[in-house]
């Protein structure tokens, strides 16, 4: 049975999509059959695997959520062996409104992906940078959540809101939901502030923080513009190494 992990933070620019793409690719490289679901209307995970989110010939998560197509029919094989993608489209914004009046509207995502849960060892959901209905659906469908926190001044700002949302989901919709861990991203060891943020987050959340810290890395920033995860773009870069280490931690936690 697949472990479903949401990557969530309503704050934009914290490395959420970078983490979703590269953790999924690293898990697949480690021979774990993996599915990445792009649940963000910006569709950055979709373009990050070299698929055109504006293509009209492609059925996406939007069509699956509103019941137009079967979820299995939207799946695309990525360049990474063993890694499949459920693509997104800007239309996904409309899905929030369209499922608003459905009974059990928070469960739509869970029901949509139920048919494939047993086909994968890991399912990674790239959530949108908001706490709207699609993100609530993603958390309701997930077993756990990874929260990326960037090593910058306002790192802990807004985390309270996200943690309250997670608590709400746990209390009302998905009591099994766990926090897989906090992931420190965009770390620059030369900056005193970055080191202070690491200390502060570790002090606040203790063993819930992953040992792996994602450093700022040029190759990591460049890879999406080539439609590749960093492991295919530059296999020996620091970014590749960081996400392979994160994947090892995730696998160890779940074995």
Phi-psi region of 227 (alpha: psi -120 to 50; beta: other; left: phi over 0): left
Does the pTM surpass 0.85? The reply is yes
Helices and strands counted in the chain (H then E): 11, 8
Containing H/E element for 129? none
Dig out the tokens for 170 from the structure.
């746990």
Which residue(s) pair with 183 in the sheet? 148
Comparing C-alpha atoms, which of 133, 87, 88 is closest to residue 110? 133
pLDDT at 56: 74
CATH superfamily, domain at 3-253: P-loop containing nucleotide triphosphate hydrolases (3.40.50.300)
| Residue 156, pLDDT score | 80
The candidate with the shortest Cα–Cα distance to 166, out of 17, 23, 8, 15, is: 8
Given this model, what pLDDT does residue 103 score?
A: 86
pLDDT at residue 102, as a whole number:
85
Calculate the alpha carbon distances from 227 to 230, 239, 244 in Å.
9, 16, 19
Would you state the pLDDT for residue 48?
Answer: 95
Q: What is the pLDDT, as a whole number, of residue 136?
A: 94
- Please, what's the b/e burial string for 57-71 (b: 16 or more CB within 10 A of its CB; e: otherwise)? eebbbbbbbbeeeeb
Specify the pLDDT at position 131. 86
Query: How many other C-beta atoms are found inside a 10 Å radius of the C-beta of residue 94?
Result: 14
Q: Which residues contact 245 (CB under 8 A, 6 or more apart)?
A: 211, 212
Phi, psi of 239 (to 5 degrees): -65, -45
Backbone angles phi, psi at 198, to 5 degrees: -55, -50
Contacting residues for 221 by C-beta, under 8 A, at least 6 apart:
none
Q: Quickly list DSSP for 61-95.
A: HHHHHTTSS-GGGG-EE-SSTTEEEE---TTHHHH
Q: Give the pLDDT confidence score for residue 121 in this predicted structure.
A: 97
- List the chain residues with pLDDT less than 50: none
């Amino acid at each position: 049975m697949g472990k479903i992990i949401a990557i969530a933070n309503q704050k934009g620019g914290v490395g959420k999509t970078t983490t979703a793409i590269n953790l999924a690719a690293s898990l697949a490289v480690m021979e774990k059959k993996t599915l990445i679901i792009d649940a963000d209307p910006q569709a950055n995970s979709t373009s990050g695997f070299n698929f055109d989110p504006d293509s009209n010939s492609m059925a996406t998560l939007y069509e699956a959520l509103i019941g137009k197509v079967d979820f299995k029919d939207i799946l695309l094989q990525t360049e990474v062996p063993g890694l499949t993608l459920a693509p997104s489209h800007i239309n996904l914004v409309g899905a929030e409104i369209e499922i608003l009046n459905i009974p059990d509207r928070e469960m739509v995502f869970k029901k949509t992906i139920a048919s494939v849960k047993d086909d994968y060892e890991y399912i990674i959901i790239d959530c949108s940078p908001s706490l709207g209905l699609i993100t609530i659906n993603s958390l309701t469908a997930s077993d756990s959540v990874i929260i990326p926190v960037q090593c910058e001044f306002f790192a802990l700002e807004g985390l309270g809101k996200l943690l309250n949302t997670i608590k709400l989901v746990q209390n009302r919709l998905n009591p099994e939901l766990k926090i897989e861990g906090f992931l420190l991203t965009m770390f620059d060891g030369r900056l005193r502030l970055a080191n202070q943020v690491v200390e502060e987050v570790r002090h606040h959340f203790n063993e819930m923080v992953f040992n792996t810290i994602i450093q700022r890395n040029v190759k990591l920033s460049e890879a999406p513009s080539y439609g590749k995860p960093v492991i295919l773009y530059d296999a020996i870069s620091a970014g590749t190494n960081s996400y392979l280490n994160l994947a090892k931690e995730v696998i160890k936690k779940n074995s």
